[in-house]
């Protein structure tokens, strides 16, 4: 499948993991981001901020750091998803726009997909 996809697209997979972490002076993990880059896109798989640090701007700084690294890798877009019970209001403040919503996933809720131009 990979060979077929690469031949069809005329370019190889260039997937690279991306991790950003924030620690308190004592080394305690306060937040982190896990994702990867591939084909000019950053994909944010997980963004977490400790409850004691929420509202401090740390989430935005982690996202900014990941986006800066993605730009350095040649990415032009970022994408991620969240759920209606997590932080859907956070991402528009960071410049993301909704591009898809899936009702009933999980049951009784929505999965919300966001994207952002990194240009």
Of 13-17, 30-34, 51-55, highest mean pLDDT: 30-34
The answer to whether 44 and 82 have CB atoms below 8 angstroms apart is no
Tens digit of each residue's pLDDT (9 = 90 or more) over 39-81: 999 999 999 999 999 999 999 999 999 999 999 999 999 999 9
C-alpha gyration radius of the chain: 16
Domain ranges of the chain: 2-117
* 66, 72, 77, 83: CA torsion to nearest 10: -10
pLDDT of residue 71: 98
* Cβ-based neighbour number of residue 21 at 10 Å: 13
Q: Number of C-alpha atoms within 13 angstroms, CB side, residue 42?
A: 31
CATH of 2-117, one of 3.10.110.10, 3.40.50.970, 3.40.1360.10, 3.40.630.30: 3.40.630.30
Kindly state the average pLDDT of the residues 17-36.
97
CB 89 within 8 A of CB 96: no
């Amino acid at each position: 499948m990979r060979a077929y996809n690469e031949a069809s697209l005329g370019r190889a997979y260039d997937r690279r993991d991306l991790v950003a972490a924030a620690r308190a002076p004592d080394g305690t993990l306060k937040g982190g981001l896990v994702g990867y880059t591939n084909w000019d896109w950053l994909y944010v798989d997980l963004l977490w901020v400790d409850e004691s640090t929420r509202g401090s701007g740390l989430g935005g700084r982690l996202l900014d750091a990941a986006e800066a690294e993605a730009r350095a890798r040649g990415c032009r877009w970022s994408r991620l998803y969240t759920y209606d019970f997590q932080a859907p209001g956070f991402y528009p403040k960071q410049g993301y726009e909704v591009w898809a919503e899936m009702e009933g996933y999980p049951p009784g809720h929505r999965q919300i997909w966001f994207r952002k131009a990194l240009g």
